[in-house]
Amino acid sequence: MHPAFSVVFFTTATGAGYGLLAVLGVLGGLQIVPAQFWLGLVGLGLALGLIAAGLLSSTGHLGRPERAWRAFSQWRSSWLSREGVASVITFIPAGLFGVGWAFLGRTGGWVAIAGLLAAIDSVITVCTTGMIYASLKPIAQWHSRYTLPAYLIFAAMTGSVLLNALLQGFGIGSTGVLVLSLLATLAGWGWKLATWRHNDRLEIPTTANTATGLAGGTVRSLEWPHTEENYLLKEMGFRIARKHSAKLRMLAQALAFALPVLLIAATFALPWPYAAVPSVLAAIVQFAGMLVERWLFFAEAKHTVTLYYGR
Q: Report the pLDDT value the prediction gives residue 212, as an integer from 0 to 100.
A: 73
| Each residue's pLDDT tens digit, 155-211 | 999 999 999 999 999 888 788 899 999 999 999 999 999 999 998 887 777 777 777
Whole-prediction pTM value? Answer: 0.88
Q: Report the pLDDT value the prediction gives residue 119, as an integer from 0 to 100.
A: 95
Contacting residues for 244 by C-beta, under 8 A, at least 6 apart: none
Please check whether residue 136 is in contact with residue 143, taking contact to mean a CB–CB distance below 8 angstroms: yes
Binned at pLDDT 50, 70 and 90, residue 282 comes out as very high
Q: Report the pLDDT value the prediction gives residue 28, as an integer from 0 to 100.
A: 87
Query: How far is 148 from 131, CA to CA, in rounded Å?
Result: 6
Tell me what the mean pLDDT of segment 40-64 comes to. Answer: 84
Tell me what the mean pLDDT of segment 32-45 comes to. Answer: 87
Please check whether residue 149 is in contact with residue 310, taking contact to mean a CB–CB distance below 8 angstroms: no
Tell me what the mean pLDDT of segment 288-302 comes to. Answer: 90
**Is the pLDDT at 65 greater than 80, yes or no?**
no
Q: Report the pLDDT value the prediction gives residue 271, as an integer from 0 to 100.
A: 82
**Is the pLDDT at 255 greater than 90, yes or no?**
yes
**Is the pLDDT at 58 greater than 80, yes or no?**
no
The DSSP annotation for 202-262 comes to: ------HHHHHT--SS----SS-S-SS--HHHHHH-----HHHHHHHHHHHHIIIIIHHHH
How far are the Cα atoms of 210, 211, 212, 219, 220 from residue 216, in angstroms, in the given order? 12, 14, 12, 9, 13
| Each residue's pLDDT tens digit, 98-145 | 999 888 888 788 999 999 999 999 999 999 999 999 998 888 888 899
Q: Report the pLDDT value the prediction gives residue 5, as an integer from 0 to 100.
A: 80
Q: Report the pLDDT value the prediction gives residue 69, as an integer from 0 to 100.
A: 66
